[in-house]
Amino acid sequence: MRETDLFHVLAQPWNAETMKSKLLAACAAAALSCALASPIAAADAPPTAAEAKAFVDAAEADLAALSEYGAHAGWVQATYINADSNWLAAKANAENTEAAVKYAKQAARFDHVEVDPVTRRKLYLLEQAVVLPAPARAGAAKELADLQADLDTLYSTGKFTYQGKTLTLDDMQDILRTSRDPAETKALWEGWRTVSPKMKDDYVKLVALANQGSKALGYADTGALWRSWYDMPPDRFGGEMDRLWGQVAPLYKSLHCYVRGRLNERYGDAVQPRTGPIRADLTGNMWGQAWGDIYDIVQPKGGTGLGYDLTANLVKQGYDATRIVKTGEGWYQSLGFAPLPQTFWERSMITRPRDREVVCHPSAWDVDNKDDLRIKACFTVTADDFYTAHHELGHNMYQRAYADQPFLFKGGANDGFHEAIGDFAGLNALTPDYLKQVGLIDTVPGTDADIPYLLKIALDKVAILPFAYLVDKWRWEVFSGQVTPDHYNDAWWDLVRKYQGMAPPAPRPADAFDPGAKFHVADNTPYARYFLADIYEFQFYRAACRQAGWKGPLNRCSVYGNKAVGEKFAAMLKLGQSRPWPEALKTFTGEDDIDASAITDYFAPLAKWLAVQNKGERCEAV
């Protein structure tokens, strides 16, 4: 699906999913030389505003100059996995992490110095930029980097043999999308999770090292560090996540109740009971985070349906991966954005190579922090990848929009923004009006297709909300010590049952480490960004439709070709991370706080329909 912030331009594959995650870990290669060269490094007197500005200026110059090597090393490792590329990426990551930690400590020296707002913002970002800080002791940064590289490799090269065939995750996911044999879905679901038990020992070591580094920076643990990234105290951010979940939970629970009932009708009580949790392998998705691929099972009865099959139309019209990406580029151009540079087409990886191991998980890159934009993906001709192409290009457009900002402001207003930009485009890309405008359907279905359409969108956009909420909730508990290694898996499933209302198809083995079977856990990419992005996305969409003068149902609004909307949209993107996120949000939407009511507005007709469908069902809290 989709899944960097200010640091995608640095020494790692700073893509839309690893932004803050690997961010200044990447910038850090320059940190040591910057810290040592700074005139304040050895000063004993109270620091001054002039020294603070000199420190930041020197840091930006060094980081901008030294970040490119790490980005190239990260790109090679992601697109050509072998012992050498892993070594290069781990070396760059170790150097960056070690320097970034020292950098954050240097920046903290100016916490009580009165400085101008720009310098204060940059110091704040420097202090928040480390994702997995290593302890200061010699060799710790390399140890942490090696653990990260090992976890990435175990995930990206993981395979499972089924019916005599060795399958990659992509292969297994392709079967899950269409298989309606519960024995087969169970075998594949459990098979993929055989790759992750071997990750656990490394993960335990990684957590311990990162916590030591976080405490040295003044945080209670690494989870508190991650929660400090949102222009508010860490404890308040946790409360904001709870508040937002409270806004969307009723809609999710209603959808869950409906889908469970239809799965029961398809498979019977022995496979999927009418009450209780949904069996996770029956959702068409390896993690139960998106249910769109089982639309054929849960679609409204006796209705007209969507009226078209986007995947079939893409195939029929001869689309390939390149044409899908060019269509996504055309959406942004219609709003006034410039075409992608020729180097994008020469250097991106948009299909899976046949001759080597790669990281297929889609990501967007700005390798040189100027105009070397790229995407990395293994696209196929499907509706899902049509959406994903629009999403990933949103990261590239954001990266280019803030390219003129000072180095430390080259990032999303927060990491959720970077994801939401692409999601906003992807949501528009699925609207029937847009599909007709680009020639993928001949006619726009009538209003009787609105419920099928909203249901199809909700199966992905609403279904992901509890999963996006719980992944970091689990990691925060792990980092804090509330959950110990012996209970990693049990704690994971407690949260899955509580928020997703799901259960595994059978009891899990004693050595299971199921969180590691999710890319973002193995890759140590924070996940709260996706929960926030799903909410920002609808806020952006509602604001854009209001600006366009749209008066009808939100699901029928398309802003394709509206350059006035594009101008306001670009104004928000150009701010990068130079302002706190509420100011960036207000630039485009007129609102200064995140608000999930846009989701309930968008799905209001579906919510009414679900209430009718669920009459007589036991829609107990999931």
**What pLDDT sits at residue 548?**
96
Torsion of CA 238, 241, 247, 248, to 10 degrees: -140
Q: Are 107 and 126 in contact (CB under 8 A)?
A: yes
Largest Cα–Cα separation, the chain: 78
* Cα dihedral sign, 492-498-499-501: positive
How many C-beta atoms lie closer than 10 Å to residue 162's C-beta? Answer: 16
Concatenated DSSP letters of 322-381 = HHHHHHHHHHHHHTTPPPPPHHHHHH-B-S--SSS----S-EEEETTSSS-EEEE----S
| Partners of 375 in beta bridges | 364
What is the rounded distance in angstroms from the CA atom of residue 467 to the CA atom of residue 552? 31
Task: Return the pLDDT at 141.
Answer: 87
Cβ proximity of 210 and 226 under 8 Å: no
pLDDT recorded at residue 201:
98
Q: What residue ranges of the chain have pLDDT lower than 70?
A: 1-44, 66, 99-100, 304, 621-622
What are the beta bridge partners of residue 364?
Answer: 375
pLDDT in tens, 522-553: 999 999 999 999 999 999 999 999 999 999 99
SS3 444: coil
Residues 306, 445: Cα–Cα separation, whole Å: 7
405 token code pair = 């900002």
pLDDT digits (tens, 9 = 90+) for 264-306: 999 999 999 999 999 999 999 999 999 999 999 999 998 768 8
Asked if 134 contacts 97 with a C-beta cutoff of 8 angstroms, the reply is: yes
pLDDT at 1: 41
The pLDDT assigned to 622 comes to: 59
End-to-end CA distance of the chain: 24
Euclidean distance between CA atoms 305 and 309, whole angstroms: 10
Residue 31 has a pLDDT of 32
Looking at residue 396, its pLDDT comes to: 96
| Whole-number pLDDT of residue 39 | 39
Contact 559, 335 (CB under 8 A): yes
Per residue in 25-83, pLDDT tens? 333 333 333 333 343 444 468 899 999 999 998 888 777 776 778 888 999 999 999 99
CA distance 618 to 622: 11
Confidence (pTM): 0.86
Q: Look at residue 502 and give its three-state secondary structure.
A: strand
SS3 279: strand
Q: What is the 3-state secondary structure (H, E, C) of 460-478?
A: HHCCHHHHHHHHHHHHHHH
**Residue 35 backbone class (left: φ over 0; alpha: ψ -120 to 50; beta: rest):** alpha
* Pairing state between β 278-279 and 363-366: unpaired
Q: Taking phi first (over 0 means left), then psi (-120 to 50 degrees means alpha), and beta for anything else, what does residue 247 get?
A: alpha
Pairing relationship of beta strands 373-376 and 165-167 according to DSSP bridges: unpaired
The DSSP-derived string for 189-231 is HHHHTTSSGGGHHHHHHHHHHHHHHHHHTT-SSHHHHHHTTSS
Q: Yes or no: say if 614 and 261 are a contact pair by the CB < 8 Å rule.
A: yes
Tokens for 490, please give them. Answer: 């049990």
Radius of gyration in angstroms for the set of CA atoms belonging to the chain, rounded to a whole number: 24
